[in-house]
Amino acid sequence: MKLSKTIYLFTTLLAFSFYSYGQTPIKRVVVEESTGTWCASCAFGSVYFEHLENNYPNAIPIAVHTGPGGQDPMAIFSVELYMIPYFSGSPTFLFDRKDFPTNPSSKPAISATPWVTGLDTLDRYMDLVYNQNPLATVGVTKSYNSSTRDLEVTITANFIQNTTGDFRLNCFILEDSVTGGTEYNQANSNFSGWTSGPSYLQDLINAPAIISGYVHNHVLRETLGNPEGVTASIPSSVTSGSSYSKTFNFTLPTGYNENKISLVGLIQRYGTDVVNDREIVNANSVHLIDQTTSTSEYEVGIRDIRVYPNPVESKSNIEFYVSKSNHITCELYNINGQKIKTIFDKKLVQGEYRETLNNLNLTSGTYFLVFRQDGHVTNKKIVVHK
C-alpha cells in the first residue's frame, strides 16, 4: 500500500520505530514484617519498606504488629496466633508467604541483620518472586459512606491460567501515619549510642533508645477474611478467563483515619502443609479515599496509569489498572493531535497490567497515551528527552 505524502513526511520527521510486546498481567508481591513497638530492631522494617517503595513499586508492604502480652496497641491477637508457624521472631519478613530452598523445614521468616547487609539479604528473596507471571489478576472495587463509615469492598480473581487447588479471596485493611500516646513509641535500643553504620540506618543510629511520636506505616488493621482467606470463595478447578468475586462489609472504626486507609485484595492458596501448600498468589492495593485519580479515569475504567521512566529515552513501561473487563484501546499521539501508533486494541479482564515499549525513536517533545473504553477517553502525558 502506498503511503500518502503527508504520512510519509510525518513518519520521516519522527524517524519513528516502535515495538510492543503485549500486555503482561502484573504480579504484586506481599511483604509481611513481624514487628512491634517493643522490639528494639524493628524500626529497621520501616527502612526496608521505604527501600521497597523506591525500588520495587509492585511490592505491598504490610507491618504485622505482635505482642507479646498486649505490649503493642496495634497487634491483632488472632493474627498473631495464625502467624506463629510463619514468623520466627521480630523483625522477620515473608515474601508472598512462599517457601524457599534454603528454608526446607519452615516458612522463610527471613531475619535481617540491618547493621551488616540487611537490604541486600532481603532483596535476594524479593528478586526470586518479583515479576513472576501470575495465575490471576486481582480486582478491587469499593463503596464507602464517609458519614456512616460503612465500607463495601469486592475482591475479584480473574484467572489467566488453568489451575486446580484450594484458592481463596481475602481483604486486608492497612493504615498509614499511625501515632498515639506513649504506647505507640518505638523501642530502638539496638541502635542508640552508635557512631557509625550503614548509611541507610543513620536516622536510627541518631535516634534515642525510645523514639517518641514514632509514625507507623503499612499497619495491618483488619483481615476481613481471616488470615487464610474465605473458604469456597473460588472453585477447586478454574479455567483461563474465569472470574470469581467476594464482597466484604465492614464499618471503619472512628479511631482509623479514612484518608490513610488502604485496601489490599488477595488471592491465597491454602493447604494443610503450612510450608509447602500455602502462599499468596497475587494481590492488589487501592486507597480507600482516592485523592489523585481523575474523574475521567474512573469513567473509562482505567486507573493508576503510570509511565516509567518518564521522561522517556529508548524504552519505557506503561502500568495501569483496568477496573472492569472490557474492550480497551490505547493509542499514542503527538502534541498536535496526530495519531502515531495504536499500542493495543483488545479486551482485557479486570486487573493490573504492564506494557513494555521498546525501540522508541521519537524526537524530543511531548506525547500523549490515549485510552478509550465505552466511548470514554482518558490520557497520560509522556515526555521524550534526547
Evaluate whether 14 touches 363 at the Cβ level (below 8 Å): yes
Cell of 300: 473509562
Position 63 confidence tier, pLDDT thresholds 50, 70, 90: very high
pTM of the model: 0.78
The pLDDT assigned to 312 comes to: 81
Burial of 174 (0-12, 13-18, 19+ CB in 10 A): buried
Cell of 236: 477447586
What percent of the chain is modeled with pLDDT above 70? 85
User: What CA–CA distances, in Å, run from 373 to 78, 99, 298?
Assistant: 43, 41, 11
Q: What is the CA radius of gyration of the chain?
A: 23
Residue of 129, 61, 156 whose CA lies nearest to 352: 156
User: pLDDT (tens digit, 9 = 90+) per residue, 294-333?
Assistant: 444 444 578 778 888 888 877 788 888 887 778 888 888 8
- The span from the CA of 88 to the CA of 15, in Å, is 58
Banded model confidence at residue 379, pLDDT cuts 50, 70, 90: confident
Domains of the chain: 29-287 (2.60.40.10), 294-384 (2.60.40.2550)
Region 184-210: mean pLDDT is 82
So what's the pLDDT on residue 343? Answer: 87
Position 335 scores a pLDDT of 84
In this structure, of 111-120, 155-164, 279-288, the range with the lowest mean pLDDT score is: 111-120
Structure confidence at residue 18 as a pLDDT band (50, 70, 90): very low
Antiparallel, parallel or unpaired: β 29-35 and 59-65: parallel
Query: What Cα–Cα distance (Å) separates residue 337 from each residue in 19, 345, 368, 369?
Result: 21, 19, 9, 11
Mean pLDDT (whole number) for 250-256: 96
**φ and ψ at 184, to 5 degrees?**
-95, -5
Mean pLDDT of the chain: 83
Percent of the chain at pLDDT exceeding 90 = 41
- Tens-digit pLDDT profile for residues 77-97: 989 888 888 887 888 899 999
